[in-house]
Amino acid sequence: MSNVRVLYEDNHIIAAVKPAGVLAQGDRTRDESVLGMVKKYLKEKYKKPGNVFVGLLHRLDRPVSGIMLFAKTSKGASRLSEQFRNRTIEKTYHALVCGKPKVRKGVLVNHLIKDEKLKKGRQKAGGDEAVLHYEVIRFNKKYSLLKIQIDGGQFHQIRTQLSLAGLPIVGDVKYKGEAWADQGAIALCATMLSFKKATEDGIVSLMVDLPKEWENYF
């Protein structure tokens, strides 16, 4: 049986937890992906002989963990894609960062571009506006736990903006964060997600716990 952790499923949508270090969808490496794991899960659960349709609705970077939504039908894909476009889906992240913000609640605003050569986000005048709202949940002399919501969805937006603010994510050495034991992961997790059902009334709200290893920093 597929080892994917399913949080929610109806006739049109399925939500699963992406482990840090696992691809959102397959690439040239042919490494395991959450999309592939969900397909395998549905194929085995419903004993489907042929290919299984699973629509990718959004992505998380490979080293990031957390909640991902997938469509089981074309109608589900259409309805949820519209919600993503209209930004009516509520997404919340938590990040363990080096340092402490000057204020408990704040907003970061930057203009970002994607550096194609370095495969990184970068600040540049005239770039797309990126807005990040944060709240300090916990802190000590060296680290802070932040609750985060963003406007937009630029390449590596959270990672870039926190690094620019002098608050790099633990494990994210690409953006000046300090290294930690799990080289395939960074301390960024998509912890909460709310969306409207595809074909009926009702809001689905999902939540996952923070990775246990984060506790070692407090």
Domains of the chain, by residue range, sit at: 5-208
pLDDT digits (tens, 9 = 90+) for 48-94: 888 899 999 999 999 999 999 999 999 999 999 999 999 999 999 99
* Token pair belonging to 103: 């204020």
Taking 60 as the threshold, does the pLDDT of residue 33 lie above it? yes
pLDDT averaged over every residue in the chain: 94
Q: CA–CA separation, 55 vs 40, rounded Å?
A: 14
Strands 105-115 and 120-123: antiparallel
CATH for the stretch 5-208 = 3.30.2350.10
**3-state SS, one letter per residue, for 47-109:** CCCCCCCCEECCCCCCCCEEEEEEECCHHHHHHHHHHHHCCCCEEEEEEEEECCCCCCEEEEE
207 Cβ partners below 8 Å, 6+ apart? 67, 191, 192
Measuring CA to CA, how many Å separate 116 from each of 71, 105, 113? 30, 32, 9
pLDDT digits (tens, 9 = 90+) for 182-198: 889 999 999 999 999 99
Q: What is the value of pTM for the model shown?
A: 0.94
Closest alpha carbon to 210 in 12, 20, 2, 49:
20
Q: CA–CA separation, 71 vs 82, rounded Å?
A: 12
| Confidence at 2, pLDDT banded by 50, 70, 90 | low
